[in-house]
Amino acid sequence: MIAADGLVPGDKMPSERELSERLSASRSSIREALRALELLGLIETRRGEGTFLRDFNDHQLVQLLSTFILQREQTKKDVCLTKEIVEMGCLSSLVMLPDLEKHMSELTEKIKDASFTEHDFFTFLMSINGNSLLKKIWLIVSDYADAIHKEDRLLMNKEAFVHLIYIIKTRNIKDIFDTYKQL
């Protein structure tokens, strides 16, 4: 409904009555849902003014939800494996880019920055890949994986990522996958 109505942070949310009608839910259910969203920091209620959407881009919702979702060891393994699968899918599609050399040169420059992270590395690759759905899936899975593993592989071994860039330039998928697996 937020996307359909084009609401952005700071915009006023529809009234409880309107939400009740649009969602075919009782007003008490709407009130309870709004309280939960407010506790999560996603909306803000101002007495006498209404309910307003807050900026949730930098929200720690994934970390909060991960404490509930990622309790089972198998789920943690599944998240990490899914992240690998998505990253390998991205890597395999890069070999078809006509301007791959240019992008890899740009990435080689970016990686020299001391604050450049593994997340930055794969965000760059996902962006040049051009598949926005793949990138969105990766961003979500990556957030959950980061909640499990706090260490950054790029900061621990920058040379391995520089080597991966070199291997990506060869366009040899088997070598790219083998190098990725060694990160």
45-97: pLDDT as tens digits: 888 899 999 876 655 666 666 666 677 888 889 999 999 999 999 999 999 99
Read off the pLDDT band of 140 (50, 70, 90): confident
Q: For the domain bounded by 2-53, which CATH number is listed? A: 1.10.10.10
3-state secondary structure 101-127: HHHHHHHHHHCCCCCCCHHHHHHHHHH
pLDDT at res. 177: 98
Tokens linked to 13: 């949310």
pTM of the model: 0.68
**Residue 15: partners with Cβ closer than 8 Å, 6 or more residues away:** 50
Say how many CA atoms lie within 13 Å of 108 toward its Cβ: 14
For residue 102, pLDDT beyond 90 = yes
Decide yes or no: CATH 1.20.120.530 for domain 61-181.
Answer: yes
pLDDT in tens, 143-165: 888 878 878 999 999 999 999 99
Distance separating alpha carbons of residues 158 and 152, to the nearest angstrom:
10
SS3 60: coil
For residue 19, pLDDT beyond 80 = yes
- Residue 43's DSSP bridge partners are 53
Residue 121 or 44, more confident: 121
Query: What are the boundaries of each domain within the chain?
Result: 2-53, 61-181
